[in-house]
Amino acid sequence: MRKRSPVYFDEKSEIWNVFSYTDVRKVLWDYKNFSSEFEMDGILKGTIINLDPPAHDKLRALVSDPFSPNNVGQLSNRIKDIVNEILNNVKGNEIDIISELAIPVPVRVIANLLGLREEDLWKFKDWTDSLVGVNDYSTDKITELIEYLSEIIAERKTEPKKDLISLLLCSTVDGEKLTEKQLLGFIVLLLIAGNETTTNLIGNGVLTLLENKNSLYELKKDKQKMTTAIEEILRYRSPVQGMFRVAKNDVELSGKKIKKGSAVLAWIGSANRDENQFPNADKFIIDRSPNPHLAFGSGVHTCLGAPLARLEGKIVLSTLLERFSNMELVDQRLEPITNGLFYGVKSLKIY
């Protein structure tokens, strides 16, 4: 598609599909023509992912600080503890990377950030699963989650702690604070945007290294290569394959006339394999540099959690390489997940 029809209107879905690197980047950057303010139901309506500047930038400034690389770096030891604790509890020689490691790690990290009680973890896991469709989508579960979070917010208002909720409660920009609705929406956004994506980064990483054994050995010999390895995994098997926008004006893209109001889908996964941008795009090159992939988006909506996702990915992969030094796939038959624009596998057993 990228070569034959780089900007393609699908009559059935009535969606404009955008495939080349240059066009995908343009759609993600150009919020004046390609807006994020499309109809969204429920709690995510009006969160940063659903707003254009200037409203977007104001709200993002209120929530950004805890996610800066510096602040996220301080979570390193806690993340290592979580990963080791999970691996210490694995019974036998086999582990399903997805269900036993890649799903629990991001959920535990976010629960930790939010300062939730240990005994609430299992409930929290159940609620977050229903947000991303592992369980059947259940409005009751979402209501339960919102009630639970509202209670925690109320507790933190009277007795602040050193956690994300307490920090966000006192964050101010130009004298303005987050409303309770904005805070709740943001926390739910974190759960949706941060969990399954990171799960798939971890799963896709292990799978890619098992398929590219030379890279796996290189990485074992030289841990410094982990930084470029994570970027290349993100490019090669992008956890989020595409993002939606809506045309705000009549706009032309690579010679195609897109009418105001049309839905536009920017295919990040395709852009990241574009030969015009990445030489040998279909090859996994562990020390590829430069690597300006779009896996975390681009422009004003660039992933807020990118430093956290990178850190989690690095810690999980490094720990696995130490503890499963000769890892192999138990079964070569893998099933892709079927959750919208997310890309990963359902299960990945190694020994």
Q: Given the rule CB under 6 A, which residues bind ligand HEM?
A: 28, 36, 48-49, 60, 110, 189-190, 193-194, 197-198, 201, 239-240, 243, 295-297, 301, 303-305, 308-309
Nearest to 295 by CA among 275, 309, 312, 314: 309
The count of residues in the chain is 351
Q: Which of 245, 269, 272 is nearest to 343 (CA)?
A: 269
Judged by CB, which is closer to ligand HEM: 3, or 79?
A: 79
Q: Is 350 helix (H, G, I), strand (E, B) or coil?
A: strand
Cβ at position 100, least distance to ligand HEM in Å: 19
Q: Which is nearer to ligand HEM, 65 or 328 (CB)?
A: 65
CB of 72 to ligand HEM, least distance (A): 9
The Cα 324–Cα 115 span in angstroms is: 31
Residue with tokens 């009418």: 259
CB of 243 to ligand HEM, least distance (A): 4
Shortest approach of ligand HEM to residue 305 CB, angstroms?
Answer: 2
Comparison of 105 and 281: residue with beta carbon closer to ligand HEM? 105
CB of 155: closest distance to ligand HEM in angstroms?
Answer: 22
* Amino acid at residue number 139: T
Q: Which residue is nearest to ligand HEM (CB)?
A: 305
Give 111 or 243: the residue with its C-beta nearer to ligand HEM.
243
Of 88 and 179, nearer to ligand HEM (C-beta) is: 179
Q: How far is CA 294 from CA 25, 231, 237, 312, in A?
A: 7, 10, 11, 19
Q: Rounded distance, CA 348 to CA 335, Å?
A: 9
User: Smaller CB distance to ligand HEM: residue 189 or 281?
Assistant: 189
Q: Which two tokens stand for residue 284?
A: 């996994």
Beta bridge partners of 84: none
In angstroms, give the least distance from the CB of 51 to ligand HEM. Answer: 8
Q: How far is the CB of 312 from ligand HEM (least distance, A)?
A: 7
Cβ proximity to ligand HEM: between 66 and 90 the closer is 66
Q: Which is nearer to ligand HEM, 130 or 200 (CB)?
A: 200
60: tokens are: 């993002």
Residue with token string 């007795």: 159
Least gap, CB of 176 to ligand HEM (angstroms): 17
DSSP one-letter code for 102: I
Nearer to ligand HEM, 80 or 90 (CB): 80
d(CA 245, CA 241): 14
Task: Give the start-end residues of each E strand in 40-194.
Answer: 95-96, 172-173, 176-177
Given the DSSP bridges, would you call strands 263-267 and 15-18 parallel, antiparallel or unpaired? parallel
Residue 202's nearest CA partner among 84, 351, 344 is 344
Query: Which of 5-42 are b and which e, b meaning 16 or more Cβ less than 10 Å from the residue's Cβ?
Result: ebbbbeeeeebbbbbbbebbbbbbbebebbbbbeeeee
- The minimum distance between CB 87 and ligand HEM, in angstroms, equals 20
